[in-house]
Amino acid sequence: MTALAAAALPPVKPHPVSDFFYRRRALLVLLLLVPPLLWVGVVYVGSLLALLANSFFGLDHFSGQVVREFTLKNFAELGTGANLDVVARTVGMALAVTLACIALALPVAYYMARYASGATRAALYIAIMLPLWSSYLVRLYAWKLLLAKEGAISWVLAKLHLSWVLEALLATPVIGGHSLSFSPLGTFIVFVYLWLPFMILPIQAALERVPASLIEASSDLGARPAGTFWRVVFPLAVPGIAAGAIFTFSLTLGDYIVPGVIGDSSMFIGQVVSLQQGTAGNIPFAAALSLVPIVVIALFLWGAKRLGAFDAL
Amino acid sequence: MRSSDARRAPLGLRAAAWAVVAFLHVPLALIVLYAFSAEDQSYVFPPPDLTTRWFAVAWNDRPDVWRAIRLSFEVASYATAFALVLGTLAAAALARTQFFGREAISLLLILPIALPGIITGIALRSAYSTLEIPFSFWTIVLGHATFCVVVVYNNAVARLRRTSPSLIEASMDLGADAFQTLRHVILPQLGSALLAGGLLAFALSFDEVIVTTFTAGQQTTLPIWMLAELVRPRQRPVTNVVAVVIIALTFVPILLAYYLTRADEPGAR
């Protein structure tokens, strides 16, 4: 019997390299990891270290050359009024955008996870994923068309005899401005539009894991739909919300293109970094300023980890 | 958490959900409409008249658009190729192993897209400046490949986790060596996930602007061309046409990638 089976199989030729690695799995894993780690380690971490180093360098204002000597001048400059304003404006915008994204994402995510099934669910998933991956600049450009003074939003509001609402909003200090495409309100709308899919998908993933029986149990025990939502569904969505908030927060914090295209002339962190490294050629100060988002995001990530955000990614 | 009873969603919830979906898509539809607008001086709505003239203008008279598309295409191809190799290797090493530092390594791979693009950009820019590397085609590719790795890695890792290890054991038991198993068992399983990851990496690189502005110097990729038009419009109708072309070009790989990896989604049935 064994002789028969052995005869039926083709003879196995040992492959020296294959056998060597089969017995040494750890070595194989190490060898597989070397190229990607070298790449990310050298190119990315190396660049981050260069960034950190540059933030301690100075700039010779006469020659415009970077002076490679240790100085804390850049960080002292960060503490001045104008720069603090920029940081506060950016962080405030990032928080507002994150909150608005949560409010808009919850109903869609809940609907997808609980009610939509089959073809509807697939269609919704595609409808949310397509904008997430499609061109950022084209989507920004679409809003330039929409928000223009002669554009679609003004036209629709005029047809509905609601132009006065828009005018009242634009006359409001802090959020208002010359027109929608030149106001902080416009910047805010565009940010919410751009990052919303990044919030919907993680919340949907988190709610997808909640068993329907949990909701039914809550209503069986006498909770009204609103009570069930706030006391059962929402707490279970928190890891997803935190995961989405990492994206919306970090993307808003680092963006410098949206406020340049849609918005008034007040600056955001990204714009200052971009200007300093570009026209001003002051890479050391740009480097020091870009450490601010890193610190803010690190704090944010630490908080998100405590809320269980990384289980929902 | 699908409801067991076939209850319909409350009207308010359904309306809110579809309103948000409309919010996401109406602006894109509007761009398509504007590409046919006969008005060439302003963004007036509704367009006074419709024409296909600007497609011909963009096609025939604007070599700058074609050069930008070509450069973006080349950059994305190289970045995707690097990302495919590095992302697959990392996924193979990390998919089914547990060791000290594994979490740190996967965090390191995710970092380039978790941190804002401007940080990746300024970091690369200061590294180039410190090492006195002049801007070139490769300085763009280097940056793009770095954040494309994670896309390929994510797709490959999801597929490898879903592939039963007993398949590999069966192959080995039947006498195949590691290379034969890789060729006849693992790669066919992994193929469509790698294709999807590659497509997404390509779309990501093709569209990247924030990092690119720091690593391109004077070179113009398609997104940089688009950004210049956004800040200082030269010929608005041509920009509209290019925007529609970009929408069409990016939707194809995204949809393909979705159909190739549908089964890998955690909630998929």
Using 50, 70 and 90 to split pLDDT, how confident is the model at A7? low
The nearest CA of chain B is from the CA of A141 a distance in Å of 7
* Mean pLDDT for the stretch of residues A276-285: 78
| SS3 labels along B127-138 | HHHHHCCCCCHH
Superfamily of domain A74-311 in CATH is MetI-like (1.10.3720.10)
Chain B positions in Cβ-Cβ contact with residue A108 (cut-off 8 Å):
16-17, 20-21
**Tokens representing A298?**
């690190």
The percentage of residues in chain B with a pLDDT greater than 70, rounded to a whole number, is: 95
pLDDT digits (tens, 9 = 90+) for B104-159: 888 888 888 778 888 888 888 888 888 888 888 999 999 999 989 988 998 888 88
pLDDT tens figures, B244-260: 888 888 888 888 888 88
Q: Looking up tokens 């602007």, which residue turns up?
A: B209
Residue A78's pLDDT is 80
Give the residue from chain A lying closest to B229, CA to CA. Answer: A141
- Residue A310 sits at the chain B interface (C-beta within 8 Å): no
- Res B207: pLDDT: 86
Query: Would the pLDDT of B269 be above 50?
Result: no
Residues of B in contact with A277 (CB under 8 A): 122, 125, 214
Residues 135-174 of A with CB under 8 A from B: 135-146, 148, 150-152, 154-155
Chain A residues in contact with B153 (beta carbon < 8 A):
36
Is A18 within 8 Å of B9 when comparing Cβ atoms? no
pLDDT in tens, A101-154: 999 999 999 999 888 877 888 889 889 988 888 888 889 988 988 888 888 888
Residue of A nearest to B223 (CA): A137
A-chain residue closest to B222, CA distance? A137
**Whole-number pLDDT of residue B121:** 87
Residue B177, Cβ neighbours under 10 Å: how many?
19
- Predicted local distance difference test score (pLDDT) of residue A3: 52
pLDDT, mean of residues B71-87: 94
CB-based contact, A246 to chain B, within 8 Å: yes
| Mutate which: B96, B118, B220, vs A, most A CBs within 10 A | B118
Least confident of A13-22, A278-287, B229-238: A13-22
Rounded to whole angstroms, how far apart are CA atoms A17 and A21? 6
Q: Is B27 within 8 Å of A216 when comparing Cβ atoms?
A: no
Q: Which helix (H) or strand (E) holds A66?
A: strand A66-67
| Record: contact B1-A137, CB cut-off 8 A | no
Task: Output the pLDDT for position A95.
Answer: 93
DSSP B50: B
Beta-bridge mates of residue B50: B37
Q: Does A108 touch chain B (CB under 8 A)?
A: yes
Rounded-to-integer distance, Cα A67 and Cα A58, Å: 5
Q: Inspect the interface and report whether the beta carbons of A114 and B246 lie closer than 8 Å.
A: no
Quick check: B45 and A130 CB within 8 A? no
Q: Which residue of A has its CA nearest to B231?
A: A261
Per-residue pLDDT tens over the stretch A41-68? 888 888 888 888 888 887 777 776 777 7
* pLDDT, tens only, B40-64: 777 777 777 777 777 887 777 788 8
Rounded-to-integer distance, Cα B29 and Cα B162, Å: 37
Question: Does B230 have pLDDT greater than 50?
Answer: yes
Q: How many residues does chain A have?
A: 313
pLDDT of A106 reads 93
Return the bridge partners of A66, or none.
Answer: A59
Output the pLDDT for position B21.
93
Percent of chain A exceeding pLDDT 90 equals 15
Residue B45 has its nearest CB partner, among A50, A155, A212, at A155
Closest partner residue to A293 (CB to CB) among B44, B109, B116 is B116
Q: What is the pLDDT of residue B268?
A: 46
Residues of chain B with Cβ-Cβ distance to A86 below 8 Å are none
Q: Is it the case that residue B198 has pLDDT exceeding 60? A: yes
**A110·B13 Cβ contact <8 A:** yes
Cβ pairs bridging A and B (under 8 Å): 301
pLDDT score recorded for residue A310: 62
The predicted structure's pLDDT at residue B45: 75
What percent of chain A is modeled with pLDDT above 70? 93
- Arithmetic mean of pLDDT over chain B: 84
Kindly list the domain boundaries of chain B, sorted by start residue: 63-264
Residue A258: partners with Cβ closer than 8 Å, 6 or more residues away: A140, A187, A190, A191, A194
CA gap B125, B142 in Å, rounded: 11
Q: What is the pLDDT of residue A1?
A: 46
Cβ–Cβ under 8 Å, residues A129 and B259: no
Q: Which of A190-199, A303-312, B8-17 has the lowest average pLDDT?
A: A303-312
**B contacts of A246 (beta carbons < 8 Å):** 114
pLDDT of residue B85: 93
Q: What percent of chain B has pLDDT over 90?
A: 20
Chain B environment of A113 (Cβ under 8 Å):
1-2, 267
Q: Which of A33, A133, A142 comes nearest B30 by C-beta?
A: A142
**Chain A interface, mutation test: which of B18, B78, B82, B122, most A Cβ atoms within 10 Å?**
B122
The reply to whether residue A111 touches residue B200, judged by beta carbons under 8 angstroms, is no
User: Residue B115 and residue A294: Cβ atoms within 8 Å?
Assistant: yes
Return d(Cα A196, Cα A244) in angstroms, integer.
Answer: 9
Fold entry, domain B63-264 = MetI-like fold (1.10.3720)
* Amino acid A10: pLDDT: 61
* Angstrom distances, CA of residue B252 to CA of A173, A200, A308, B196, B246: 44, 22, 35, 11, 10
* Cβ-Cβ contacts under 8 Å, B14 against chain A: 111, 115
> A205-254: per-residue pLDDT in tens?
888 888 888 888 888 888 888 888 888 888 888 888 988 888 898 889 88
Cβ of residue A76 closer than 8 Å to a chain B Cβ: no
